[in-house]
Amino acid sequence: MDKIPEKVFVISGKRKSGKDYVASLMCNRIGKHLCSSVQLSGPLKKQYAEDHNLNFEKLMDSSEYKEKFRIDMIKWGEDKRTEDPGFFCRLATSKADLKKIWIITDARRKTDVDYFKENYNDRTLTVRVCAKESIRKSRGFTFTLGVDDAESECGLDEGIHWDYLIHNNGDQDLLDKDINHLVTIVQEKLCDVT
């Protein structure tokens, strides 16, 4: 663990809640020269694609191609996590070009949250992106048995105290207010360091 960030935001939320969108807004406001977005699913999908001779780029987008393999990919990822709960977290942070602020865009399990809290203690803040189901449906969400009732979607629904909740229900003013609050925390932290 040679890369030590000043702050780690661990973002979670249901499918189509806007986790990547929130992370992108945060990174833009913090400054891309200071901020790295880290997807835990990236290394998982890359390894899955290699092991199964699939198109990695298509697994990374929102295509039907990814949906075709989602259930098997979830099972494969769960098997890897059972062997080593921090495997994908370590892989994602070891290969990325990481800057002072890390935004983990897709924590899905308690072990993901635990990994960052244990390894980066008081530098870690947990963030839950919340969106009503009707809003998620307007963004293309459709309940899929074996996906939306699996640990990868439900593992963080209970038993986690979130440091911050971000509401992403289409009210841009509220979303901006929530994100600006997190950006202020970063600015204060960076002032303490310099």
Q: Would you say 17 is a known binding-site residue?
A: yes
Q: Would you say 16 is a known binding-site residue?
A: yes
Q: Would you say 14 is a known binding-site residue?
A: yes
Question: In the numeric block, which tokens belong to residue 2?
Answer: 């040679």
Q: Would you say 15 is a known binding-site residue?
A: yes
Q: Would you say 159 is a known binding-site residue?
A: no
DSSP the chain: -----SEEEEEEE-TTS-HHHHHHHHHHHH-TTTEEEE-SHHHHHHHHHHHHT--HHHHHSSSHHHHHHHHHHHHHHHHHHHH-TTHHHHHHHHHS---SEEEE----SHHHHHHHHHHHGGGEEEEEEE--HHHHHHTT----TTTTTSHHHHTTSSS---SEEEE-SS-HHHHHHHHHHHHHHHHHHHHHH-
The CA–CA distances, whole Å, from 158 to 13, 26, 149, 150 equal 12, 25, 13, 14
Q: Would you say 168 is a known binding-site residue?
A: yes
Residue positions forming the annotated binding site for ATP = 14-20, 139
Residue positions forming the annotated binding site for substrate = 168
Residue positions forming the annotated binding site = 14-20, 139, 168
